Amino acid sequence: MRTTGLGFSAVLVAVGAILAWAVTDTLRGVDLHAVGIILFVVGLVLAAITLAAGAMGRRTVIRTDREAVVDGRPVAERHREVARESAIDNGAL
């Protein structure tokens, strides 16, 4: 699982929290408290999306085809197996 989304979301949450609750300065025309809250919420949503996408995992299809001749006629045996691999199974989380 790529953790780029988690790192970026952590930065957004940290900057948003600082702007929302630690900065007391004001800028003309900009509400720093509102900007901080927006960045904080966007960071949390991005983290949730990144974790959900990573938990879904990847789909691996294993397909085996065998051909043989039985009683003079060609016979094909096909086997298909779908295995799911999640980020939790890989130890990524």
pLDDT at 59: 65
Sequence-distant (6+) residues with CB within 8 A of 2 are 54
- Distance between CA atoms of 89 and 68, rounded to whole angstroms? 37
**Residue-range domain boundaries for the chain:** 1-56, 58-93
Question: pLDDT tens per residue, the chain (93 residues)?
Answer: 456 788 999 999 999 999 999 998 888 999 999 999 999 999 999 999 988 887 776 666 677 777 877 788 887 777 777 666 554 455 544
